[in-house]
Chains A and B, each alone.
Chain A
């Protein structure tokens, strides 16, 4: 079974600063995907960034980037130039392509952005 761990229940960052959210996972599979989802107070889950395990290059999406360390099973999210709208719960998720469309989520990190 896959497990995903987010060791930081809460993080805070000053507006315009950079913050890194941690995520580790455990899987015996070699082919999988990793995601970061954002859940604002509206509860709408929004995909932030996605990483295919077979790709060595770290994914980036504008101010969001990941540090994917496959051997260490680590997948951290870096948010640069933090904005007030970034305040939300962030979930790391693992996905196995051969198990139906099942996401295994971490416990989440609540990010607060201070003006």
Chain B
């Protein structure tokens, strides 16, 4: 089985721009979660989607949004980028509640 894939792997944007990151889960997995990893704040949960529905959302401003498609692929969007949005964005997929979450390699976003 192919693992979780994330595209792009690296992104450089400037303040005020918007960005869309993509995550393709393991085949058959219906849950996709997103996390932000920074040196200062560590790993923080952004949101989780299951069967195209957002089930949970972390404490992030409304500039961070996401969606999930019928094939379980998920995208997250960050609008009006700020310098503090520079981070590694990780997505994880799982088959259901309580199951192991498999992480993708991450997208490294740099905001200049």
Contact = CB atoms under 8 A, between A and B. Distances in A.
A102 interface: yes
Interface stretch (B11-19, B69-77, B78-86, B90-98): B90-98
Which bracket fits the contact residues of B? 20 to 34
Contacts of A107: 42
B33 A42 contact: no
A46 B97 CA distance: 18
A102 B42 contact: no
Nearest to A91: B43
Contacts of B55: 100-101
SS of A interface (majority) = loop
Given A43-B88, A105-B42, A108-B42, A100 B50 contact: yes
A102 B103 contact: no
A50 B50 contact: no
A42 B105 contact: yes
A101 B31 contact: yes
A8 B10 CA distance: 31
Interface string A24-49: 00000000010001000011111100
A82 to B, nearest CB: 23
Contacts of B42: 105-108
A6 to B, nearest CB: 10
B43 A99 contact: no
A102 B83 CA distance: 26
B106 interface: yes
Contacts of B88: 43
Contacts of B110: none
A100 B98 contact: no
A33 to B, nearest CB: 6
B105 A101 contact: no
Nearest to B103: A45
Interface of A: 33, 37, 42-47, 50, 52, 91, 95, 97-108
7 residue pairs, one from A and one from B, having the closest CB atoms: A100-B56, A100-B55, A45-B103, A105-B43, A100-B48, A102-B45, A101-B31
